[in-house]
A and B are shown apart, each in its own frame.
Chain A
Amino acid sequence: MSAERDARANASPNLTSADELETDSMRSKFPEVSGALAVALVSMAVGQGCLGSVPGRDQGGGGLVTAPSDAGAQDAGLQGSASTFEALPPATYVSKVKNLLVGMPATDSEIASVVADPSNLKTLIDGWMADPGFRLRMLDFFRNAFQQNHVDLPTLQANIALNAQVNEAYSSRLVRNVMDSFPLTVWGLVQQGLPLNQAVTTNRYMLTSALMSYLSYTDDSQVSDTGKTTNHIFSNPRVPTSFSIDSSSTATLAQSLANVQGLPDGGTSMSWRYPGTQPTDCTNTVQTYFGTNMFLSLFDFYFGKLVWQPCPSDSSNFQRLTPEYLDSDWTDWRMVTIQASPTLADGGVGYASPVFYDLPAIRAANSLNLTTQRIGFFGTPAFDANWGTNFTNEMRVSANQALIVAIGLSINGENSQVMFPVTATEADHASNPACTGCHSQLDPYKQFFRQSYTLTYHNQTDPTQITQPAGFGIAGVTATGKGVGDIANILANHPRFALAWVLKLHSWANSTAAVEDDPEVLRIAAAFQASNFDFKTLVRELFSSPLVTFAASTKTTETQGVVMSIARRDQFCASLSNRLGITDICGATTVQPTAQQTAISARAVMMPVDTYYRAYALPSLSTDPNLFYRASVEVVCGLVANEVVDATPTPSRYSSKSPGPAIADFVTTVVGLPSSDPRAAQTASILTENFNLAQDAGVSASDALKATFTLACISPSSVMIGQ
Chain B
Amino acid sequence: MNANRRQFLLSALFGTGWLGLRALATGLPIGLLARPGSARAQASTCANPQFIYFLTSGSGDPLNANVPGCYIDPGIYHPADPTMAPSSVSVGGQTYQAAKPWSQLPPSILARTTFLHHGTYTNNHGDAAKVNRLMGQIQRQEMLVSLVAKSTGPCLGTIQNQPVVLSNNLITYSGSVMPILNPQALQAVLAQPTGPLGALQKIRDNELNKLNALYKQSANQAQKAILDQYALSQAQVRSLSQQLLSDLASISGTTRTDLNIAAVVLFKMNVSPVAVATFSFGGDNHGDVGLANETQGTVASVAGISDFVSRLTTYGLQDQVTIALQNVFGRTLSVANHSGNADGRNHNANHHCSVFIGKPFKSAVIGGVTLNNNKNDYRATGFDSASGAVNDTGGDVPYTDTLSSVGKTLALAAGVDQATIASQITVGKVIPAALA
Contacts and interface: CB of A to CB of B under 8 A. Distances in A.
A57 B175 contact: yes
Given A68-B225, A72-B40, A630-B237, A3 B174 contact: no
B90 interface: no
Contacts of A424: 374
Given A2-B137, A693-B3, A699 B160 contact: no
B80 interface: no
Contact of A420 (B121, B136, B188, B220): B121
Given A426-B347, A562-B222, A564-B226, A63 B162 contact: no
B179 A607 contact: yes
A373 interface: no
B181 interface: yes
B286 A71 contact: no
Interface in A60-95: 60-65, 68-81, 84, 86, 88
Interface stretch (B15-23, B103-111, B202-210, B415-423): B202-210
B129 A414 contact: yes
A534 interface: no
Interface in B50-71: 58
A439 B178 CA distance: 31
A561 to B, nearest CB: 7
A707 B141 CA distance: 44
B222 A630 contact: no
A8 to B, nearest CB: 12
Contacts of A699: 196-197, 199-200
B228 to A, nearest CB: 5
Contacts of B211: 683, 686, 711, 715-716
Given A80-B222, A426-B123, A564-B226, A624 B207 contact: no
B218 A678 contact: yes
Contacts of B135: 2, 417, 419
Interface string B242-264: 00000000000000000000000
A617 to B, nearest CB: 11
Contact of B215 (A400, A624, A632, A723): A723
A707 B181 contact: no
B174 A392 contact: no
Contact of B199 (A80, A415, A697, A711): A697
A560 to B, nearest CB: 10
B170 interface: yes
A696 B223 contact: no
B251 to A, nearest CB: 12
B189 interface: yes
A608 B176 CA distance: 12
A703 B203 CA distance: 13
A30 B374 CA distance: 29
B189 A632 contact: yes
Given A76-B162, A620-B170, A635 B234 contact: no
B286 A390 contact: yes
Contact of A614 (B126, B136, B188, B286): B126
B150 A630 contact: no
Given A63-B175, A716-B212, A564 B222 contact: yes
B208 A714 contact: yes
B384 interface: no
A29 to B, nearest CB: 27
Nearest to A685: B210
A602 B185 contact: yes
Interface residues of B, number: 101
A694 interface: yes
A390 B287 contact: yes
B401 to A, nearest CB: 11
A71 B185 CA distance: 30
Contacts of B32: 73
Contacts of A620: 170, 172, 175-177
A689 interface: yes
B307 interface: no
Contact of B214 (A81, A686, A703): A686
A412 interface: yes
A686 B207 contact: yes
Given A88-B220, A429-B123, A622-B176, A62 B185 contact: no
A628 interface: yes
Interface in A604-632: 605-608, 613-616, 620-632
Given A60-B140, A76-B162, A69 B212 contact: no
A422 B175 contact: no
A63 B208 contact: no
A608 B178 CA distance: 8
A430 to B, nearest CB: 11
A13 interface: no
B174 A86 contact: no
Interface in B347-391: 347-350, 372-374, 376-377, 379
B130 to A, nearest CB: 6
Nearest to B334: A425
B185 A603 contact: yes
B124 interface: yes
Interface in A379-409: 390-392, 397, 400
A330 to B, nearest CB: 27
Interface in A422-452: 422-427, 429
Contacts of B176: 63, 76-78, 620, 622-624
A592 B275 CA distance: 34
A698 interface: yes
Contacts of B232: 73-74
Interface in B37-88: 40-41, 43, 58
B320 interface: no
A407 to B, nearest CB: 17
A710 interface: yes
B221 interface: yes
B313 interface: no
A319 interface: no
B233 A626 contact: yes
Contacts of B174: 62-63, 69, 75, 77-78
A716 B124 contact: no
Interface of A: 2-4, 57-65, 68-81, 84, 86, 88, 390-392, 397, 400, 412, 414-415, 417-420, 422-427, 429, 561-566, 602-603, 605-608, 613-616, 620-632, 635, 678-679, 682-683, 686-687, 689-690, 693-694, 696-699, 703-704, 707, 710-711, 714-717, 719-720, 722-723
Given A80-B221, A422-B379, 8 more contacts: A63-B140, A77-B175, A414-B130, A422-B350, A602-B188, A605-B185, A606-B189, A704-B200
9 shortest A-B CB distances, which residue pairs?
A63-B175, A615-B126, A77-B176, A62-B141, A62-B140, A79-B225, A80-B222, A86-B220, A420-B349
13 contacts: A2-B137, A62-B174, A63-B141, A71-B40, A425-B337, A425-B377, A627-B240, A635-B189, A703-B200, A711-B204, A716-B215, A723-B226, A723-B227
Interface of B: 2-3, 6, 28, 32, 40-41, 43, 58, 119, 121-127, 129-130, 135-137, 139-142, 150, 153, 159-162, 164, 170, 172-179, 181-182, 184-186, 188-190, 196-197, 199-200, 203-204, 207-208, 210-212, 214-215, 218-223, 225-230, 232-234, 236-237, 240, 271, 286-287, 332, 337, 339, 346-350, 372-374, 376-377, 379, 399-400, 426
